[in-house]
Amino acid sequence: MNNTFLKACRGEKTGYTPVWLMRQAGRYLPQYKKVRAKVDFLTLCKTPELAAEVTIQPVDILKVDAAILFSDILIPTETMGMKLEFSESKGPILYEPIRDEASIDKLRDLKPDEDLPFVLETIKILLKKLKVPLIGFSGAPFTLATYMIEGGSTKNFLNTKKMMYQSPVLFSKLMEKMTDTVIRYLQLQINAGVHAVQIFDSWAGTLSPYDFEKFALPHVKKIISVLKNSKYKNRNQELKNIPIIYFAFNSSGMLKLVKQSGADVFGIDWRIEISDAVDMLGSDNAVQGNLDPCILFGRKGLIKERVEHILNGAKSAKGHIFNLGHGILPETPVDNAIAMVDYVHELSSKKGEH
């Protein structure tokens, strides 16, 4: 297996900078669209052969150094009893959003040994076929809670913040339940054999540092601490320390706090120079990022220039995994995504810096 990605996560020397793209399996790929034409999004997530197929596609097409399980962060909320739908126009919808204690009490606990058999099966297929590490993932408790409280996407997160500010005990109860869910969900994936996990905190950046520290960070800390201290089945010594990536989107103003989560790797969006992020996070962690996904709509020369700028900026990090600063956009020209991956490999090998 190509171990470059895992080595970079651990801050070990590598021959080049590994790269993968958030949402690398998805609507910008004709091959994905062909599979997706046959089934709806949720069915795709829950059909192991198909989920595995689209997980592998970008590894073959883009030559990225890691695969990420094809799924959605909201899958566990459905397992907990909420009705989940993906609407082409509105995005995710969670029916009967959580607004009171009764609806929190109704949520059932995740049972790792019974629930989500399709996740286990997808991972099993992938581990047989992949020549690169497989990343498992989960949403962070705060991000999952926003969807559950708002009932879908939102602009101002007003219902979430109303619960936080007006009913902090209730909000805490939901967050604790979601923390347990995330722990069980990631343990399930690690037991099944994923090589690393990423925690997506897509909406952490809607919080002030004050609120992030009070309402969201303690739960992420707990998850990472429990995962680091758990025993896993069937894992040999080399794989015992599963790298944990924490991606708190839009958190440039509070990286000092983000660092306290205890993750091994920090995902960085494009709103900060990666060199500044490394300065703020310190040199004892790896970083992942941080190209603006829109750069992939520019000419190849521009893409190359920006790839080089980021590679240079991340020089002082303990390890660097190249990635976009957010998910790849559906309209992205595939050629440009391929070119970007090539530039990362080519420019970082020349430099021989990692």
Q: Which residues bind a copy of itself (CB under 8 A)?
A: 156-158, 161-162, 165-166, 205, 207-211, 250-254, 270-273, 276-277, 292-295, 297-299, 302, 306, 309, 325, 329, 331
Residue 276 Cβ, how far from a copy of itself at the closest point, in Å? 7
Catalytic residue among 16, 23, 115, 184: 23
Tokens 């520019």: give the residue.
298
Residue 31 to residue 26: CA distance in whole angstroms: 9
SS3 302: helix
72 an active-site residue? Answer: yes
Residue 53 to residue 34: CA distance in whole angstroms: 11
Q: Which is nearer to a copy of itself, 9 or 314 (by Cβ)?
A: 314
Residue 335 Cβ, how far from a copy of itself at the closest point, in Å? 14
Asked if 321 and 265 touch (Cβ cutoff 8 Å), the reply is: yes
Residue 279 Cβ, how far from a copy of itself at the closest point, in Å? 11
Residue 250 Cβ, how far from a copy of itself at the closest point, in Å? 7
27 an active-site residue? Answer: yes
Straight-line distance from the first to the last Cα atom of the chain, in angstroms, rounded to the nearest whole number? 19
Q: Which is nearer to a copy of itself, 48 or 325 (by Cβ)?
A: 325
Residue 124 to residue 353: CA distance in whole angstroms: 35
Q: Which is nearer to a copy of itself, 107 or 257 (by Cβ)?
A: 257
Asked if 206 and 248 touch (Cβ cutoff 8 Å), the reply is: no
Q: At what angle do helices 300-313 and 334-351 cross, to 10 degrees?
A: 40
Q: Which is nearer to a copy of itself, 54 or 272 (by Cβ)?
A: 272
Other CB atoms within a 10 A radius of the CB of residue 17 amount to 25
Radius of gyration for the chain, computed over Cα atoms and rounded to the nearest angstrom: 19
Residue 248 Cβ, how far from a copy of itself at the closest point, in Å? 11
Q: Which is nearer to a copy of itself, 181 or 336 (by Cβ)?
A: 336
147 an active-site residue? Answer: yes
Catalytic residue among 147, 185, 246, 343: 147
Residue 162 Cβ, how far from a copy of itself at the closest point, in Å? 5
269 an active-site residue? Answer: no
108 an active-site residue? Answer: no
Backbone angles phi, psi at 141, to 5 degrees: -55, -45
Q: Which is nearer to a copy of itself, 127 or 327 (by Cβ)?
A: 327
Other CB atoms within a 10 A radius of the CB of residue 23 amount to 18
Distances (CA, A) of 182 to 218, 230, 264, 309, 310: 14, 14, 17, 35, 32
Residue type, 82: M
Give the active site residues.
23, 27, 36, 72, 147
